[in-house]
Amino acid sequence: MLYMVRVRLAKPATMSNQEFYSLWLEEAAAATGAVEAGIMKGLWKVAGVNEVIGVLDVESPDVLDGALHGLPLWSKGYAHLITDLQVTPLRSYAAWYEDLKKMAASKDAAS
């Protein structure tokens, strides 16, 4: 199943830029490995903000949870750098299109 994951990071005032970006570099290396392994279908850095969007292909929410908690920010105790995390399940637009055809043809469709 596909999930879109949006992660926003914030650097604490007490943390140096070098430490923050070094941790993010570790996270990026792990995420890039997930892309190469085919688990992550796409990965993007949002321009101008400390935010990353990824699309993961995993079997279940349990596997997704394990994958996220296996990343360096969680496993090394830096999850507090994540200020916002949004997980959105995705479905095929082609499947939605087929559902729409059925709903549009239904005489009982709500108006």
Is residue 90 included in any domain, yes or no? yes
User: So what's the pLDDT on residue 106?
Assistant: 83
Is residue 111 included in any domain, yes or no? no
Is residue 43 included in any domain, yes or no? yes
pLDDT at 47 over 70: yes
pLDDT for 74-99, tens place per residue? Answer: 999 999 999 999 999 999 999 999 99
76 exposure class (CB count in 10 Å sphere: 0-12, 13-18, 19+): exposed
- Residue 82: give the domain boundaries: 2-105
Phi, psi dihedral angles at 15 (to 5 degrees): -105, 135
Is residue 91 included in any domain, yes or no? yes
How crowded is residue 82: how many other Cβ atoms within 10 Å of its Cβ?
Answer: 17
User: So what's the pLDDT on residue 109?
Assistant: 56
Is residue 76 included in any domain, yes or no? yes
Reading the block at residue 80, the tokens are 């507090």
User: So what's the pLDDT on residue 9?
Assistant: 97
Give me the number of domains the chain comprises: 1
Closest CA to 83 of 16, 4, 9, 15: 9
CATH code assigned at 7: 3.30.70.1060
Is residue 100 included in any domain, yes or no? yes
Which pTM does this prediction carry? 0.85
User: So what's the pLDDT on residue 110?
Assistant: 58
